[in-house]
């Protein structure tokens, strides 16, 4: 691991050798999924799988330093010591205090902007919570940062319809990858239709290049539905969520504690199927993002 030559210009950023050599074709992945989203054994296994990919880098904050291309020992250190969940808003605080920070989609997009990475992959993005009082920083960052983000739609625990509408309001270009239906994480179908679809990574890069030509400031959101074999139908997820929402009210769980609690209870109520789905869709999204990044890099160097 070595320091970036631009360290003084872009905060304290440490680039791995992989990140420094292949920046134009890289895919950035957040750390929250490893630290807060999965059990330790599955998390480490997934990290090993993604870290072995030639153009994938995991992004986090370790002891107040942004690390682009985290190594296994650094992830294990973060797991052992703990790390706060950090969006774009919290980045300056965590860095100035020398803390460990597990990046979300929003902060990963912001760090990608700092170091010149164009493609980011995640499982599902945040959005409008069902009480309509909490809107994820993910959407705000997507609206002001021109990146390609591959995800399986929004998390099922959110107000899907309100999030779908807000994507349009914020001028975030959302395209379905081999689907004309808005996916919702565990489910391929939401009942909401997409009017923009693509069939290949090359089409995604075409759109991104047009956005750049038009100087659009927002991101291109690529919606990649979960594999049918791992899908959990929307109706089943909704039944479980109704039960969990009552628990949230009874236990007065609010803010950033809502999502981790709901994901944990979904795992319990689905008898582990949500974990299998989560691992599958995240891996598939990173693979698609990798293909997109390679196509983008090939054009930039042609």
The catalytic site residues sit at 30, 155
Torsion from C-alpha of 160, 162, 166, 167, nearest 10 degrees = 20
Distances (CA, A) of 52 to 18, 45, 72: 11, 11, 11
- Is residue 174 within 8 Å of 151, Cβ to Cβ? no
């Amino acid at each position: 691991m070595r320091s970036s030559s631009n360290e003084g210009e872009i905060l304290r950023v440490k680039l791995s050798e992989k990140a420094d050599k292949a920046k134009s074709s890289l895919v950035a992945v957040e750390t929250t999924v490893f630290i807060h989203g999965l059990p330790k054994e599955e998390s480490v296994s997934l990290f090993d799988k993604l870290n072995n990919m030639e153009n994938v880098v995991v992004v986090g904050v370790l002891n107040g330093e942004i690390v682009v291309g985290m190594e296994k020992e650094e992830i294990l250190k973060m797991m052992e010591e703990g790390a706060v969940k950090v969006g774009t808003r919290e980045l300056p605080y965590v860095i100035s205090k020398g803390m460990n920070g597990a990046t979300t989609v929003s902060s990963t997009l912001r760090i990608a902007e700092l170091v010149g990475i164009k493609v980011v992959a995640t499982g599902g993005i945040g959005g409008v919570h069902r009480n309509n009082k909490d809107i994820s920083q993910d959407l705000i960052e997507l609206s002001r940062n021109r990146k390609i983000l591959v995800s399986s739609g929004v998390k099922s625990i959110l107000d899907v319809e309100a999030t779908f509408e807000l994507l349009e309001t914020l001028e975030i270009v959302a395209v379905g990858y081999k689907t004309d239906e808005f996916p919702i994480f565990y489910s391929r179908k939401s009942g909401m239709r997409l009017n923009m679809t693509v069939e290949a990574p090359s089409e995604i890069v075409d759109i991104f290049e047009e956005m750049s030509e038009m100087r659009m400031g927002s991101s291109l959101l690529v919606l990649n539905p979960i594999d049918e074999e791992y899908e959990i139908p929307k109706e089943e997820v909704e039944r479980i969520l109704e039960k969990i929402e009552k628990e949230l009210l009874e236990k007065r769980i609010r803010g950033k504690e809502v999502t981790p609690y709901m994901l944990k209870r979904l795992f319990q109520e689905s008898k582990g199927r949500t974990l299998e789905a989560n691992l599958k869709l995240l891996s598939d999204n990173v693979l698609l993002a990798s293909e997109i990044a390679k196509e983008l890099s090939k054009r930039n160097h042609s």
